[in-house]
Structure 1
Amino acid sequence: MFSGLPSLFSRSITRVLAVVLVFFLLQQYLYFRKSVSVSQDAFTAGAAQSCDSLKGIEDLFVTLRTGATEAPKKLPVHFTTTLRCVPNYALYSDYEENIEGHHVYNALDEVNPDIIATHPDFEYYRRLQEGGRDAFTAEELAHWAAAKNTNGGRDSPGWRLDKWKFLPLAEKALLMKPDAKWYIFIESDTYILWQTLLEWLSHFDSSKPHYLGMQMQIGDVIFAYGGAGFAISNPALKKVVEHRKANLKFYDDFTGGHWAGDCVLGKALADSGVNLMWSFPTLTGDMPADMDFNTSFGGQDKKPWCFYSASYHHLPPSEYPKFAKFEQSWNQENAFRLRHRDIFRFYLLPRISSEHDGWDNLSDAEQSEVHSFDDCRETCESQPDCLQFSFLGESCKTSTAIRLGHKGFGDTKQVKSGWVVDRIKDFTERMDASCGNKDWILP
């Protein structure tokens, strides 16, 4: 678009686009008449008030599942954010311990001793129980932390062991709080927006069997993705616990031959007569910065933008306090809950600029014959539907979605990302116009 023009002019264009973005953000601010940034003092002062507003939170029992290698790093932030207002919860891992005064239970202590002694999945577990984390070398821990996802799950012994926790945790949750109306299962990198979740659950009769979660499928089993969090009503949990007890060997064998524990639980629920209600995008499997808010999932035409948001996944520990402050401020100043579009506008968009060094915005469409960041920008701008781009080495990628992304580095050079900021306003207006009455995911 601007090929061959002097670099000074290109820099001027960049400045103009930056001004356009600032002006757009100001318009959004005036439209909604609020700012979502709050000080730490305001966050602390409003803590009690925000907990008091969570009507019905006492009817939930929350099970947080983790593993020994990640628990010390990922659990502490939950005590001041995700679990701060939750009166009834338990932490489960593959290793019993205390972390910052909070007890972490062993999720596998009642698994068949013969399985523990002989199944290859439990070699890691046996070493862990005998020697704690000191049983593993620094090289082993580093190797497992860097393990990649495969078609059969993540290639690490802790991940392979994790599948054995789901069915025992169903029983343990019921024993811990037999009178809870709802049982919420989350992971150590799941963020739940409790106000939204409670309002969503109020649309369901908790005295009936319900199984709510982001839909996934392996073979013929449709199940709730564990990372997004899922909800099981009291009658449904009782059904699956009783069914598993009556068929214990079958489900032990099934678990041993499978690779995904959330799928194992989903099969047991379906076998007991409780099918999943597909709940995306109320419950989602990505962190806000990585989401494409304009893409549906699982064969349903339900794009996140318009819907209320009750969960995110893959948040790093450093993101929890920031997002918790944002959510609390919003709930104090608004009678309506956060939709995905609000999170885009007020949490992500202020961090988007015309370009960002050392940043990967997750653009994915490879462009050929592009040799510089400026050429990559021009390539994107020449495509009417292109909203962002990134450049690394000799590789230019573009995208018709807008994502913030995260810090990113290549093998030898930094990734650099950019956005076509003067197209963002049109994008948000088009998305808003598509919403109609979309809000909750309901039967």
Structure 2
Amino acid sequence: MSPRPSRIRLVPRLVLLAACVYAFFWVSGFPRTYDDDELPPSEVETQAPAPHIESEKLVVTVKTSAVDAFAKIPPLLLLTNGKYHDNLLLLGDLHLDVGAFHVHDVLDRYDAKYVSSTPDLERYRRLTHYARNSLDFGRLRETDPAKEKAAKDKMEKYMMLRMLQRTWEQRPDRKWYVFVEPDTYLFRSNIQVWLAYFDHEEPHFFYNPPETDPYGIGGSTFILSQKAMQGLFVENDKDISGLEAHIEGKSSGTEVLTGVMSNELDLSPNGSWPGVSSFNPDTIPFGHGMWCEVVMALHSVSAESMSNLWRLERERNDKNIVDPLTFSDIWMKFLQPENLNDVRDDWDNLSSGKEFSMWNILFDGVDHDSRHHHHHGAQGRAPRGEDNWKACQDACNDYDQCMQWSYSSIPQPNANENGDTKCHLSSSLRFGAHADPREVTRDGTKVQKTWKSGWRKDRFEAWAKQQNCKA
């Protein structure tokens, strides 16, 4: 008896179905792959971390003062990861407790007679008097910023070496020592990677002296290797009193520092600019020479900006971004969202000024002095725009490399061959700050000084799109 035709037809179908099911599971078992452009953020492959200094081998010493410790130290502590607290030292001019953290007085070992007879320690004598009598330290602050700086500079000459000594005593034999101020924002991961390129068993002194051209680029942060610290406090026959012979004739703590490093260790400052600079998010000159550079420390950073920088780092960590944070990243966080298309009254975007001379643009008819910095890569000169702010704006618009302009009601210096002008053009872009009208005396007459500023954000962003920081 022959089999029924329906069963004969069913067998091939079952075989085909089984083959399809097997193929499905076989293919689905393959790991799914993507092109880099389409990889889901949650599945981005974590890159191997770059060589870096272990956090416990990096000491950060914060130099503060009783006058502003309670205002500046709490934000710094709040925005510093707790895992770094064990190697964070707070050193100042008076013993204080800021919450759970102690500020050590580095001047407390001076003989009382020496303190009372040394004119430069007048601020310290007043601080100790205020402390004994429970007076407000803020009353010691001079209303004139220049006078306040002079008072601090005098005292800090005597604090500098004792700050280094106290740091070594409390955290000896670490690989690296970073010295900062309370309003310094450190990008620790960048610093840890950068320092890994250097041998801590060799003497290193990283610092940007304030007299470096262009002026004002440095900031107060400096970094010493283990070997440099050993050279001062282990291998040196001189005690702290012997080292302090270098204070004589110096005008500031940093002069004392550079003098000691030079005379005792034959070390000159090794620059770390622009990674370490005197800039903050409002003053960074975004453009050539900065855009793709790694950021390690910013200075004079407000508590609000510190918080925003912390949030920027946190956002990058949450997205598993391991590339070093650069100035271009700070632009995207701080300035890209700003409306820079409108002219701002009573605003100085820092298009002039000594510290930005390397970006200031020269005008037609000005002979360039090769000893001075000028704008990067410029050809020719920009037209003058002295008549009024609109003429200044037009001068910037007519010059392809001009990224911003400012106009002052009275001539102001440019720190270049332009001399004093009302119109100031720059090849970098900066945010700046509100500037209230001020009454000043010029040629014996009282006049109002005002500022007006504008930007070419469209031009800058077109330039930025052409940059490739990963190249």
TM-score by length of 1: 0.73
For 1:119-158, what aligned pairs fall within 5 Å after superposition?
Answer: 119-132=118-131, 141-143=141-143, 146-148=144-146, 155-158=149-152
Contact residue 226 and residue 262 of structure 1 kept, 8 A:
no
Contact residue 215 and residue 279 of structure 1 kept, 8 A:
no
Partner of 1:422: 458
Partner of 2:100: 101
Contact residue 352 and residue 404 of structure 1 kept, 8 A:
no
Partner of 1:286: 279
Are residue 307 (structure 1) and residue 299 (structure 2) matched?
A: no
Question: Runs of 5+ in structure 2 lacking a partner?
Answer: 1-35, 39-51, 353-359, 364-383, 411-421, 439-447
Contact residue 202 and residue 225 of structure 2 kept, 8 A:
yes
Q: Can you list the C-alpha shifts for 1:290-334, whole angstroms capped at 9, x where unaligned?
A: 122446xxxxxxx23222111111112222111111122123321
SS at match of 2:76: helix
Residues 102/351 of structure 1: CA separation in 2 closer, same or farther (3 Å cut): same
How many corresponding residue pairs?
A: 367
Residues 112/285 of structure 1: CA separation in 2 closer, same or farther (3 Å cut): farther
Are residue 329 (structure 1) and residue 329 (structure 2) matched?
A: no
Residues 386-395 or 174-183, more deviating: 386-395
CA distance in 1, matches of 2:210, 2:141: 29
Match for residue 235 of structure 1 among 185, 209, 227: 227
How far residue 171 of structure 1 moved from its aligned partner, in angstroms, is 1.0
SS at match of 1:148: helix
How far residue 195 of structure 1 moved from its aligned partner, in angstroms, is 0.9
Partner of 2:395: 379
CA distance in 2, matches of 1:32, 1:74: 43
Contact residue 404 and residue 426 of structure 2 kept, 8 A:
yes
Q: Can you list the C-alpha shifts for 1:28-50, whole angstroms capped at 9, x where unaligned?
A: xxx999xxxxxxxxxxxxxxxxx
For 1:173-192, what aligned pairs fall within 5 Å after superposition?
Answer: 173-192=167-186
Partner of 1:362: 350
Residues 349/370 of structure 1: CA separation in 2 closer, same or farther (3 Å cut): farther
CA distance in 2, matches of 1:359, 1:226: 25
How far residue 265 of structure 1 moved from its aligned partner, in angstroms, is 1.7
How far residue 358 of structure 1 moved from its aligned partner, in angstroms, is 4.1
**Structure 1 ranges of 4+ moved more than 6 A:** 136-139
Letter aligned with residue 126 of structure 2: R
SS at match of 2:336: helix
Contact residue 186 and residue 227 of structure 1 kept, 8 A:
no
How far residue 389 of structure 1 moved from its aligned partner, in angstroms, is 1.8
Q: Larger helix proportion, structure 1 or 2? A: 1
Q: Can you list the C-alpha shifts for 1:172-219, whole angstroms capped at 9, x where unaligned?
A: 11110113221111111111001111111222222332222334559x
How far residue 402 of structure 1 moved from its aligned partner, in angstroms, is 0.7
Letter aligned with residue 88 of structure 1: N
Contact residue 127 and residue 135 of structure 1 kept, 8 A:
no
Partner of 1:204: 198
Match for residue 63 of structure 2 among 54, 62, 65: 65
Which structure would you say has the larger RCO, counting Cα contacts within 8 Å and 6 or more residues apart?
A: 1
Partner of 1:11: none
Residues 64/135 of structure 1: CA separation in 2 closer, same or farther (3 Å cut): same
Partner of 1:162: 156
Partner of 1:339: 326
Letter aligned with residue 311 of structure 1: A
Identity of aligned residues (%): 24
Highest Rg: 1 or 2? 2
Q: Can you list the C-alpha shifts for 1:353-383, whole angstroms capped at 9, x where unaligned?
A: 1123443211126965433x44432232123
CA distance in 2, matches of 1:285, 1:180: 26
Residues 345/138 of structure 1: CA separation in 2 closer, same or farther (3 Å cut): closer
Partner of 1:400: 427
Letter aligned with residue 261 of structure 1: G
CA distance in 1, matches of 2:233, 2:287: 38
TM-score by length of 2: 0.69
For 1:244-323, what aligned pairs fall within 5 Å after superposition?
Answer: 246=238, 248-249=240-241, 251-270=243-262, 271-294=264-287, 303-323=289-309
